[in-house]
Amino acid sequence: MARKTIVEDCDILVVGGGMAGTGATFEARHWGRDLKIICVEKANIDRSGAVAQGLYAINCYMGMQWGENQPEDHVRYARNDLMGLVREDLGYDMARHVDSTVHMFDEWGLPMMKNKETGRYQREGKWQIMIHGESYKPIVAEAAKKSADKIYNRIMITHLLMDETKENRVGGAVGFNMRTGDYYVFRAKTVIVAAGGASHIFKPRAVGEGMGRTWYAPWSNGSAYALPIEAGAKMTQMENRIVLCRFKDGYGPVGAYFLHLKTYTQNAKGENYEKKWYDKTTYVMGSHATCSGAWVSGPEDIAPPEYFWGYNRMTTVEGLFGAGDTVGGSAHKFSSGSFTEGRLAAKAAVKYIEEEKAKDINVSDKQCEDFKDIIFKPLENYTVGRNEITGGTVSPSYISPIQGLQRLQKIMDEYVGGISYNYMTNENTLKRGLELLDWLQEDLEKVGAEDYHQLMRAWELKHRTLTSQCVTEHTLFRQETRWPGYYYRGDYMKLDDENWHCLTLSRRDPKTGKFTMEKAPVYHIVDEKEKKEAS
Ligand SMILES: Cc1cc2nc3c(=O)[nH]c(=O)nc-3n(C[C@H](O)[C@H](O)[C@H](O)COP(=O)(O)OP(=O)(O)OC[C@H]3O[C@@H](n4cnc5c(N)ncnc54)[C@H](O)[C@@H]3O)c2cc1C
């Protein structure tokens, strides 16, 4: 079938129009007045991403103007929560800018709750401020719409394009429209990946009919990780997964219930068990914090040399930037911090273009055509393979996206430490898991899609699988149990600061598909000066 191809050339391409993507699109226009800025979103930016349905609280606000918190305090909080392993340069950089982001939200009409006595934003917790946030997402989307040359909704980005003149430099991205089936080529000087987190790579507690009812957004499918991984970008802390302890058989905005309405959880005996056991608990992780994601350059004024290669939030692939959940090493950004990080990445991307680092990028028609064949293959797999089915839905020639997802989740659950195994794993099971994931990758060449929606599901699955491989490699590499409660290495049950007080890095060779692992030092930037002076 002849398929329409739409080609766009631009300066800055933002992949994903969630919190970080809208922040990036907005800020790109501020610094790059004459640049062509395009934002591409899988859903519709008015209601997309983890904030689609709105929020009751902005979870990251310093309140610097009132002396409530300083960026250093936030670094200490994230460092403590992540057992010492964070990129303090990235966290500090986000924290020192986040208040200005929140003040813009206020100016743009986001209804903020105010403390009647002090006139300040109403606090419910050290970092949170309360909002009437049903329209949070449409409000930030409006800022992005006014800033971009074009916003494309309903286009899923499946691959990054690479420059053919200079090795390891990005050249754009490709994808398809989930309504029309048209093929889209975006040739770009810089790309900012802001495609959210990854849910559903492990089997959720609720299965069958309830499997979509997870805490993290079920449409967050790991594109944020798979796109840079496939392009050969280094990733960090991918073993640092999150397990949300909420309450049984219910799903809802529990953060607001706890914080604002002061509710608490009970056990089967009706006891407030958290209060009862409070003194006995030595380590409970707060909030939703993880550090997994792309290894990016820090800001030039505070990043140590190992963390700095020219442009803030640029990955190890030139011209490829990250923001929000995409970026590894920096936790507790939440909605406001992700928007802020989008702004920081966009400012650096503009600088990259202005300093003529994006000259002479060449993306051949052949590279684009090759991706076209790859992207639409699941439709062909289905069209050919369905003729072999005489009854039911199981084909000898293809697997459906949901079958593939269930297989992925079974592998991750059993071999990488999921809920059925009480989050326990070890070297042998991890190695077996990697073998099974390789086989799954091979079989996914045969995934079948009966329509464009299923084609999206097929590509979501492929992105989840690549992300899972990276998670498994990292989990195998870190020979200790750093975050008990999230997962346990049965063969290394203790925390091992001597060998593992470090960040883990991986890189997948785009040609061979093989991962290599290394360690990177953790620098405790905040408090270091004071410690030295004291000693
Ligand atoms: C249930 C829940 C409650 C939360 N509560 C709070 C709270 O109360 N306060 C707070 O401050 N924060 C809260 N957060 C955190 C906050 O929502 C996230 O930190 C923030 O949204 C992350 O921003 P992001 O841009 O990285 O990802 P997202 O906002 O999720 O945006 C990612 C975007 O990329 C798009 N996308 C994905 N893949 C592709 C692709 N291949 N091609 C094109 N587009 C793609 C998605 O559709 C989405 O729009 C909550 C999160 C969740 C899940």
Residue 71 has pLDDT above 80, yes or no: yes
Q: Which residues line ligand 1 (CB under 6 A)?
A: 15-21, 40-43, 48-51, 55-60, 156-157, 194-196, 215-217, 219-220, 223, 255, 324-325, 333-336, 338
How distant, in Å, are the alpha carbons of 57, 58, 142, 339 from that of 127? 10, 8, 26, 16
- Which of 283, 282, 265 lies closest to 274, judged by CA? 265
The atom number, within ligand 1, closest to the CA of 323 reads: 26
Mean pLDDT score, 89-99: 98
- The b/e string for 8-22 (b: 16+ C-beta within 10 A; e otherwise) is bebbbbbbbbbbbbb
Mean pLDDT score, 380-408: 93
Q: Is 169 helix (H, G, I), strand (E, B) or coil?
A: strand
Mutate to test the pocket of ligand 1, among 220, 335, 336 (most ligand atoms within 8 A of CB): 335
Provide the pLDDT confidence category of residue 246 given band limits of 50, 70 and 90.
low
Say which range, 137-141, 237-241, 284-288, 522-526, has the weakest mean pLDDT: 284-288
Mean pLDDT score, 468-496: 96
Residue type at 117 in one-letter notation: E
Provide the pLDDT confidence category of residue 430 given band limits of 50, 70 and 90.
very high
Rounded Cα gap, residues 325 and 313, in angstroms:
12
Mean pLDDT score, 48-66: 94
- Give bridge partners of residue 190 from the DSSP assignment: 12
Span from the CA of 18 to the centroid of ligand 1 (angstroms): 6
Span from the CA of 165 to the centroid of ligand 1 (angstroms): 34
Name the CA dihedral angle for 483, 201, 463, 238, rounded to a multiple of 10 degrees: 10
Contacting residues for 376 by C-beta, under 8 A, at least 6 apart? 3, 176, 181, 183, 455
Residue 263 has pLDDT above 90, yes or no: no
- The b/e string for 145-162 (b: 16+ C-beta within 10 A; e otherwise) is bebbeebbbbbbbbbbbb
- Which of 403, 416, 494, 491 lies closest to 443, judged by CA? 403
Residue type at 503 in one-letter notation: L
The atom number, within ligand 1, closest to the CA of 334 reads: 19
Residue 163 has pLDDT above 90, yes or no: yes
- Which of 188, 511, 161, 155 lies closest to 366, judged by CA? 161
Mean pLDDT score, 318-334: 96
Span from the CA of 19 to the centroid of ligand 1 (angstroms): 6
Provide the pLDDT confidence category of residue 282 given band limits of 50, 70 and 90.
low
Structural element, H or E, at residue 431: helix 427-443
Structural element, H or E, at residue 189: strand 183-193
The atom number, within ligand 1, closest to the CA of 16 reads: 34
Share of the chain above pLDDT 90, in %: 83
Residue 284 has pLDDT above 60, yes or no: no
- Which of 151, 104, 97, 99 lies closest to 344, judged by CA? 97
- Identify the DSSP state of 203: P
Provide the pLDDT confidence category of residue 254 given band limits of 50, 70 and 90.
low
Residue 285 has pLDDT above 90, yes or no: no
Provide the pLDDT confidence category of residue 120 given band limits of 50, 70 and 90.
very high
Mean pLDDT score, 312-328: 97
Length of the chain: 535
Residue 535 has pLDDT above 90, yes or no: no
Residue 175 pLDDT: 98
Provide the pLDDT confidence category of residue 265 given band limits of 50, 70 and 90.
confident
Rounded (5°) CA angle 95-96-98: 60
Helix/strand/coil percent split, the chain, to 5: 40, 15, 45
Residue 290 pLDDT: 80
CA atoms within 13 A on the CB side of 124: 19
Span from the CA of 325 to the centroid of ligand 1 (angstroms): 8
Q: Where are the alpha helices (DSSP H) in 166-233?
A: 223-231
Rounded Cα gap, residues 397 and 388, in angstroms:
8
Instruction: Please count the other Cβ atoms lying within 10 Å of the Cβ belonging to residue 421.
Output: 16
Span from the CA of 100 to the centroid of ligand 1 (angstroms): 20
Mean pLDDT score, 230-237: 98
Residue 406 backbone phi and psi in degrees, to 5: -65, -35
Residue 278 pLDDT: 80
How distant, in Å, are the alpha carbons of 69, 107, 122, 224, 261 from that of 117? 19, 21, 10, 43, 19
Q: CB of 137 within 8 A of CB of 20?
A: no
Mean pLDDT score, 401-418: 97
Span from the CA of 56 to the centroid of ligand 1 (angstroms): 15
Residue 245 pLDDT: 65
Structural element, H or E, at residue 408: helix 401-415
- Angle, helices 223-231 vs 452-477, to 10°: value is 70
Rounded Cα gap, residues 299 and 89, in angstroms:
7
Rounded Cα gap, residues 433 and 441, in angstroms:
12
Instruction: Please count the other Cβ atoms lying within 10 Å of the Cβ belonging to residue 509.
Output: 10
Rounded to whole angstroms, the maximal C-alpha distance in the chain is 78
Provide the pLDDT confidence category of residue 301 given band limits of 50, 70 and 90.
very high
- Which of 19, 475, 5, 447 lies closest to 224, judged by CA? 19
The atom number, within ligand 1, closest to the CA of 59 reads: 11
Query: Residue 530 is encoded by which pair of tokens?
Result: 């004071």
Mean pLDDT score, 418-428: 96
Residue 116 pLDDT: 95
Name the CA dihedral angle for 119, 125, 126, 130, rounded to a multiple of 10 degrees: -40
- Identify the DSSP state of 157: E
Rounded Cα gap, residues 82 and 404, in angstroms:
32
Share of the chain above pLDDT 70, in %: 96
Mean pLDDT score, 285-290: 61
- Which of 112, 392, 459, 56 lies closest to 257, judged by CA? 56
Residue 281 pLDDT: 65
- Which of 490, 486, 521, 519 lies closest to 505, judged by CA? 519
Contacting residues for 89 by C-beta, under 8 A, at least 6 apart? 298, 299, 302, 303, 304, 307, 523, 525
